[in-house]
Amino acid sequence: MKHTVTAKDVAKLAGVSQSSVSRVFFEGAKVSEKTRAKIIAAAEELGYRPNEFARSLITNRTKIIGIVMKGVQNPFYPQVLKQFAAAFKKKGYSILFVHTNNDEIEAEDVETLLNYNVAGVIITDAVMALTVGEEFKKNKIPVVFFNRKLNSEEFYSVSCNNLDAGRKVAEYFFDKGVSEMAYIAGDADTSTSRDRQKGFQEVLKQKKARYRHYSSDYTYNGGFKTAMHMVAEGDLPSAIFVANDIMALGVLDALKENSIGVPGQTKVIGFDNIEMAAWPAYQLTTWEQPIDKMVHATVTYLLEEIAEYTGAAETFEVDGRLIERSTT
Amino acid sequence: MKHTVTAKDVAKLAGVSQSSVSRVFFEGAKVSEKTRAKIIAAAEELGYRPNEFARSLITNRTKIIGIVMKGVQNPFYPQVLKQFAAAFKKKGYSILFVHTNNDEIEAEDVETLLNYNVAGVIITDAVMALTVGEEFKKNKIPVVFFNRKLNSEEFYSVSCNNLDAGRKVAEYFFDKGVSEMAYIAGDADTSTSRDRQKGFQEVLKQKKARYRHYSSDYTYNGGFKTAMHMVAEGDLPSAIFVANDIMALGVLDALKENSIGVPGQTKVIGFDNIEMAAWPAYQLTTWEQPIDKMVHATVTYLLEEIAEYTGAAETFEVDGRLIERSTT
């Protein structure tokens, strides 16, 4: 067990009460200048470091934001994590990184967030049971769902306007003279995959075009296997909208394996605009998610709710845009 | 400001002293069964949640491991982060994720780690000034350098045996009948890049083969540009050892752009064995880093030092292995 210098040690050396020390370091200016000077001198002599946890017990606040994340294999999420870490650092907040193996946040992850009395929670590619949400509300801990839209209006959520994106992708394909198209979905239980599909399908319906759907799982291997299966079926569509980039890269590799020319024989559009989409091996046309704006909206909401908790819920959507490369 | 139930509230309802409450929740069995029962009942009624921070003030311990990371763009590091999060979760520890923009850990990052009184620190792809190291030692916070070997024996470090890997890669090329080879280095100030180079160069010297060196920066773009430059020089070696996979993918894409056949005209070996190395578009031969073993060694050391701080320093190296794919 290690011994750290405590407020008690400082109080003893300064010849003042422990609560005076606390007032100096945690609460502001409610001590006389003379006492303050004595305390600062003693603290410097001892190398006293006011503990964030002690501070949190007094202010009942921590400067920790919990980020729950599952798919670090998808480069989109490390990029998001990095941007959150940078944005919150500027505001004096640190990141508690909670990696969940399941789609649904595990009970112990929630325990962790509550035990550390985090100031706010960001949930990315994970699902949260309603009872868990209630637990956060009871403790007045603001929660943001990032890159997920909720069915209920119970929580604040930030995402790209996926419905609109799906529509625009379909219209783009029609403008290119294509009418035979398919959608490769991500995990079926995600709002992102459903909304992208919905917008896409809507336009196809309007134009009375045949809609084809393939289920996959938002991974490279999922995209690869799905495209191999599509090729084996022998009825390849002339355009494929893939629900995210990492799957789309798998699709492109599978098409290459089968010597199918892109965009000649079939066109491919992904979603996210991860770094790899721009690599010469892929040059993937994709719908860019405006991560900057999404991160900004999330940080702004959380800081407001931390300053004064209202529990305000809203579905905040940001427009993305098509990045044309050589797969269309 | 939110009101959470505190030990004081529980003590009041149970009709016991606050220190009895603390003893029940933080220290173990030093209260009578009767008192304990009263306290547990009151705590349940109020929905009292013993705070990790309060716990840490009493035990002078947190269950937080700080991980300092820079290059989340390199998929090797998100993979490492995920494995650490999973391994520490099993032991009841959480991860404070500290993203640093500079090569050297920023002062505010160190402040954060010290302020949260983390139980241990893992430093991955960042450099730490010696004075910072002293600060951790003074506070008896164990530090591990992960994927970095130190010049001094001041800290525990865990890495792949990079020197041996470099030698083996050179020997492998010679066995393949190649004698004209080059090395593309990562950031010059990293032990990983230097050691891989040293081992590689050593064997070339023994065999009296010409050694060629190109400086780069451990990024995809760096690898791409370096290979473009090599091609432009007009004197392409018949084999290239690239200091990490993400650069090697850039190299392969640059060679493809120039219609240079791999492995026909030149062979390429990377380092890490990231997921993408196995993708059909690349099929990169690479030296695999045994992340599992490296993570295990790191976790074991930290938990031992947390249990009893000795400040023991060691350079721990794990053997990797060559994964042959189609670029050699």
Chain B residues lying within 8 Å of A96, measured CB to CB: 64, 94-97
Which token pair is B299? 């976790």
Distance (Å) from the C-alpha of residue B168 to the closest C-alpha of chain A? 29
Mean pLDDT over B42-58 rounds to: 65
Cross-chain Cβ contact B280/A224 below 8 Å: yes
Mean pLDDT over B101-122 rounds to: 86
pLDDT of residue B122: 96
Q: Answer with the residue of higher pLDDT: B50 or A95.
A: A95
Q: Is the pLDDT of residue A202 over 50?
A: yes
pLDDT of residue A156: 94
Length of chain B: 328
Cross-chain Cβ contact B4/A257 below 8 Å: no
Chain B residues lying within 8 Å of A77, measured CB to CB: 78
pLDDT of residue B60: 60
| Torsion angle, alpha carbons of A229, A234, A237, A238, to 10 | 120
Distance (Å) from the C-alpha of residue B227 to the closest C-alpha of chain A? 13
A217-257 per-position pLDDT tens digit: 999 999 999 999 999 999 899 999 999 999 999 999 999 99
Ranking A55-59, A137-141, B111-115, B318-322 by mean pLDDT, the lowest is A55-59
Cross-chain Cβ contact A78/B78 below 8 Å: yes
pLDDT of residue B13: 85
ipTM of the complex: 0.83
Mean pLDDT over A270-284 rounds to: 96
Chain A residues lying within 8 Å of B96, measured CB to CB: 64, 94-97
Ranking B16-20, B196-200, B218-222 by mean pLDDT, the lowest is B16-20
* Band (A200; pLDDT cuts 50, 70, 90): very high
Q: Is the pLDDT of residue A2 over 50?
A: no
Give how far Cα B13 sits from Cα of A26, B28, B39, Å: 28, 21, 8
**Cβ-Cβ contacts under 8 Å for A134 (sequence gap 6 or more):** none
Q: Which of B94, B231, B246, B305 to mutate to test the interface with A (most CBs of A within 10 A)?
A: B94
Chain B residues lying within 8 Å of A253, measured CB to CB: 279-281
Which token pair is A250? 């798998």
Helices (H) and strands (E) in chain B, counts: 12, 12
* Band (B215; pLDDT cuts 50, 70, 90): very high
Considering only the beta carbons, identify the residue of B49, B59, B97 that sits closest to A115: B49
- How many other CB atoms are there within 10 angstroms of residue B170's CB atom? 27
- This prediction has a pTM of 0.85
Residue among A47, A31, A37 at smallest CA distance from A14: A37
pLDDT of residue A80: 95
Considering only the beta carbons, identify the residue of B54, B73, B224 that sits closest to A57: B54
pLDDT of residue A1: 34
Chain A residues lying within 8 Å of B309, measured CB to CB: 2
Q: Is the pLDDT of residue A314 over 70?
A: yes
**DSSP-derived secondary structure for A285-305:** EEEE--HHHHHHHHHHHHHHH
Q: Which of A94, A134, A262, A310 to mutate to test the interface with B (most CBs of B within 10 A)?
A: A94
Distance (Å) from the C-alpha of residue B169 to the closest C-alpha of chain A? 26
Q: Is the pLDDT of residue A150 over 50?
A: yes
Chain B residues lying within 8 Å of A276, measured CB to CB: 276
**DSSP-derived secondary structure for A99-141:** E-SSSBPPHHHHHHHHHTT-SEEEE-S-B--HHHHHHHHHTT-
Which token pair is B79? 């993979």
pLDDT of residue B1: 35
Q: Which of A116, A137, A282, A305 to mutate to test the interface with B (most CBs of B within 10 A)?
A: A116
**Cβ-Cβ contacts under 8 Å for A184 (sequence gap 6 or more):** A214, A216, A223, A226, A227, A240, A241, A242, A243, A247, A251
Q: Is the pLDDT of residue A27 over 60?
A: no
Mean pLDDT over A64-86 rounds to: 92
Mean pLDDT over B97-102 rounds to: 88
pLDDT of residue A197: 97
**DSSP-derived secondary structure for B194-214:** HHHHHHHHHHHHHTT--EEEE
For residues A40 and A45, give the distance between their C-alpha atoms in angstroms, rounded to a whole number: 9
Cross-chain Cβ contact A47/B138 below 8 Å: yes
B123-180 per-position pLDDT tens digit: 998 777 777 888 899 889 999 999 988 877 889 999 999 999 999 999 999 999 998 9
Domains, chain B: 7-59 (1.10.260.40), 64-160+291-320 (3.40.50.2300), 162-288 (3.40.50.2300)
Chain A residues lying within 8 Å of B276, measured CB to CB: 276
Q: Which of A8, A57, A99, A131 to mutate to test the interface with B (most CBs of B within 10 A)?
A: A99
Chain B residues lying within 8 Å of A95, measured CB to CB: 96-99
Cross-chain Cβ contact B72/A53 below 8 Å: no
Chain A residues lying within 8 Å of B280, measured CB to CB: 224, 253-254, 256-257
Q: Is the pLDDT of residue A138 over 60?
A: yes
pLDDT of residue B30: 62
pLDDT of residue B151: 75
Mean pLDDT over A293-312 rounds to: 95
* Band (A115; pLDDT cuts 50, 70, 90): confident
Mean pLDDT (chain B, rounded): 89
For residues B306 and B64, give the distance between their C-alpha atoms in angstroms, rounded to a whole number: 11
- The SS3 of residue A183 is strand
Length of chain A: 328
pLDDT of residue B2: 43
B227-277 per-position pLDDT tens digit: 999 999 998 999 999 999 999 999 999 999 999 999 999 999 999 999 999
Helices (H) and strands (E) in chain A, counts: 12, 12
For residues A271 and A289, give the distance between their C-alpha atoms in angstroms, rounded to a whole number: 7
* Band (A114; pLDDT cuts 50, 70, 90): confident
Give how far Cα B299 sits from Cα of A202, A226, A299, B291, Å: 51, 38, 32, 12
Q: Is the pLDDT of residue A126 over 50?
A: yes
Query: Whose structure tokens read 């075009």?
Result: A209
pLDDT of residue A269: 98
Q: Which residue of B has its CA nearest to A87?
A: B99
Ranking A102-106, A171-175, B192-196, B277-281 by mean pLDDT, the lowest is A102-106
Chain B residues lying within 8 Å of A72, measured CB to CB: 78-79, 81-82
Considering only the beta carbons, identify the residue of B2, B72, B254 that sits closest to A78: B72
Considering only the beta carbons, identify the residue of A72, A94, A275 that sits closest to B73: A275
Cross-chain Cβ contact B56/A57 below 8 Å: no
Considering only the beta carbons, identify the residue of B4, B79, B281 that sits closest to A281: B281
pLDDT of residue B56: 60
Cross-chain Cβ contact B95/A94 below 8 Å: no
Chain A residues lying within 8 Å of B79, measured CB to CB: 72-73
Considering only the beta carbons, identify the residue of B73, B85, B116 that sits closest to A97: B85
Residue among B289, B296, B293 at smallest CA distance from B270: B289
Q: Is the pLDDT of residue A18 over 50?
A: yes
pLDDT of residue B235: 85
Considering only the beta carbons, identify the residue of A2, A59, A95 that sits closest to B60: A2
Mean pLDDT over A178-182 rounds to: 94
Mean pLDDT over A165-190 rounds to: 95
Q: Which residue of A has its CA nearest to B113?
A: A94
